[in-house]
Structure 1
């Protein structure tokens, strides 16, 4: 049975019990109320008789009491100047008793359950004392049954109509939020992004709907975060595959050349018989391969470490001095002019080793790709660090691929002449992992690499 039907039947049963209790209460308490009303009527009638008797003489009292008893259907016992008289207004015959305000049961009298008697002393107009007792028979049980049965059809009809109507309305009102919850949660179960509860109240139901909306919103945020993380992991895995494919291709050529060289030396083919001349060349090739392998290992390790590495509060001026000093001899050999200009004292919150790697690669590339007697300019401005070097600007086609691993825009430069093509790739990995924006573009007859520095004070 569904919730609405259970609630409706429960409320109907509850109201039925209430109606039954009310009718039973009427039956139980009506006799007492009925007797109280009889006593009140008798007291009122005594007041009326007292007022009238006080204005007439003794002789007129008999006719007054006789007529009053018949008209009001009561029995009157009067003791007038020592003489007791009875005036019957009902079929019940009573025996006078000297009991004031007594209530007693009558036996062997048909249809009479009890008899109520009230008394009072009055004085006639001619100063004759009169003791009045008026009484009437009662049937409280029968009156209760008669009254209950008389009202039962009307009260039962009203009670049933009210119970059914109110039970239906209350059940409908009570189950509407639950039915709405069922519909909305069905959409939430199917991950419908538009599924939410309309909060129209501030009671417990409204608070529950608000909490469910918040939970569902957090669930969607978690799903969105997981989707982005999945895409990020997919991109990382794809980047690793591409990197390994490029690395294997990059190593294949020098390894093949080394094998040919060693094989010719082993077979003593032609000029390769001169071991003393070609062994150093083979060793040099091995050293170059060893350097490439180190660069490849460093690049692959940075992919996983850049996001998790501990961060340091860096003074960029100090880090620049150390990086420039590393390439000081090479810069002098090419007679390069290096200018450092800092408009502010920039700071950055980043891992020191990774930032040193970025600066080292940037300055190393600038020195390697700048012609002899050229210029390199390093500037620190508000929100930006830039490294510019004079050279032939790269074309748009070259700029599209410039951050790919092992890509070298100058095809005369190769791993044999010292370049691996991993410098800008490593820079990109580190800066992306730290959320730093960057750009590499032609500028003033040269190329300029700019890094956004959010840590620089405004």
Structure 2
């Protein structure tokens, strides 16, 4: 039983899959939908046209088959009598028809005459003893079986349903005889339709109406798409066209929506870039003007010899030189940031051991850390981690983060540096005690010229580009950098791939 049911279930599942796939293909192709709609509407139009034909139908009676039966019966009897050269076949036919009369059935009239028209043999319903052969034969010729079919319309049935006469000349025992067989032929009812223009017009009307009705939904969808494109073309990029179905129109709707989204994103990005350019010019102007004003002020004092002692002269000169160094650092940072944000920049990559790189950098910064009463606490993985990267630029990232930790650490001044491997990446965390940061401040840390107190009166604390430069370098290496604040500690976390292309 299972062997029988299993193939049946398999075929049933295959049939279901075929139906589902067919429906899916129809939904996904507007060509198939339109072709299906056309075939369906044409079929409905044909049905409507055929349904109207009975109203143009005429009914006729065909007597040809009944005439043929009478003629065949007479011919068989005549042939048999001639073959046997005996009137016995004629007498048998007459007896057979007489029996039908006695049983009150429809019977044929059978008359056998000699050359003079004298009736020799006849059935009971025949009363004539002498007939006019000329008249009888002429009547028979009027209904000859060789004429076209005898079709009569219903209004003329009663008048045209006349007695059919078949006759055959016989020569039996050297005597010339005539066989006449007559009767009312049975008719067949034949219904015929007169095809005219009305069914054609009805079929066309049904096809047109049904096609418009079936395709109305699809046309509405096209109109909605056209309206949406027009709305987007007017500048309303936030407008979205409602998607319906799965066919090419639905795909086009998706593409138009994506295009509008891309254009809106592009415009927003352009606006943001323009805003950033404006802010960059404002910030650069401010940060350049502050040290430049100070340099010019002290140089003016020196030029006008507005100092009292050699020590004061040296002090003014030292301050002007210090401000010029700050100005140079700001210009260098700005140039570096501009270069890093250029998409055509090429990294000079090489294989580097991250453990050794960090160790060396921390050793170089220990004097500055001790000068600011800071200390480094390392927690490195025992595994030697190698990566392919631009060592000069990565050193700048680490140096910037470590120097920030040295400058801004609070509390006991401990700076925690950890290195560990995370599957295909390595993770570096530099943490130190710090004043509290809000989530908004943490998100803004890597923006250009951002300073926690937003004070633009002095650049002594830095250019405000260090973290922005660090983020650009890390992202150029396919990594990511972010800042977290928890339990009074500010954490800078860098993740870079162990191997970069």
Q: TM-score normalised by the shorter chain: which range applies?
A: 0.5 to 0.7
Partner of 1:325 in structure 2? Answer: 360
Alignment correspondent of 2:207: 170
- 2:242 paired residue number: 195
Alignment partner, residue 423 of structure 1:
466
Matches of 2:213 and 2:378 in 1, distance apart? Answer: 76
CA distance in 2, matches of 1:257, 1:188: 63
Aligned position for 1:97 = none
1:286-365 to 2 correspondences below 5 Å: 286-305=324-343, 318-319=353-354, 321-322=356-357, 325-326=360-361, 328-335=363-370, 336-342=375-381, 355=394, 357-365=396-404
Which one of the candidate residues 300, 320, 333 is aligned to 1:263?
Answer: 300
Scaled by the length of structure 2, the TM-score of the pair is 0.56
The 3-state SS of whatever aligns with 2:427 is: strand
Using a 3 Å threshold, how does the CA distance of structure 1 residues 76 and 171 change in structure 2: closer, same or farther? Answer: farther
- Out of 368-377 and 187-196, give the one that drifted further: 368-377
Q: Under a length normalisation based on structure 1, what TM-score does the superposition of the two structures give?
A: 0.60
| Cα RMSD after superposing both structures | 6.2
Per the alignment, residue 47 of structure 1 pairs with 76
Unaligned stretches of 5+ residues in structure 2: 1-37, 96-106, 116-130, 149-165, 183-188, 229-238
CA distance in 1, matches of 2:331, 2:482: 27
- 2:418 matched residue in structure 1: 378
Asked if 2 retains the 8 angstrom alpha-carbon contact of 1:363 and 1:387, the reply is no
> Which of 423, 436, 456 in structure 1 is aligned with 2:480?
436
Match for residue 242 of structure 1?
279
Which position in structure 1 is the counterpart of 2:405? Answer: 366
**3-state SS, counterpart of residue 270 of structure 1:** coil
Give the total of aligned pairs.
396
Q: Distance in 1 between matches of 2:349 and 2:73?
A: 103
Q: Distance in 2 between matches of 1:235 and 1:384?
A: 33
- Larger relative contact order, structure 1 or 2 (CA cutoff 8 Å, min sep 6): 2
- Aligned residue in 1 for 2:27: none
CA deviation vs aligned residue, 1:135-174 (integer Å, no higher than 9, x gap): 9xxxxxxxxxxx99x956xx458x835851x433332332
Please state how far the C-alpha of 1:253 moved relative to its aligned partner: 0.7
Partner secondary structure for residue 246 of structure 1 = helix
1:225 matched to 2:268: no
Question: For 1:378, what is the secondary structure of its paired residue?
Answer: strand
Q: CA deviation at 1:43?
A: 3.7
Task: Specify whether residues 310 and 370 from structure 1 end up closer, same or farther in structure 2 by C-alpha distance, changes over 3 A only.
Answer: same
Say which is worse superposed, 234-243 or 349-358, in terms of deviation: 349-358
Note if 1:405 corresponds to 2:440: no
1:140-219 correspondence runs (5 A): 155=194, 160=198, 164=202, 166-191=203-228, 193=240, 195-198=242-245, 210-219=247-256
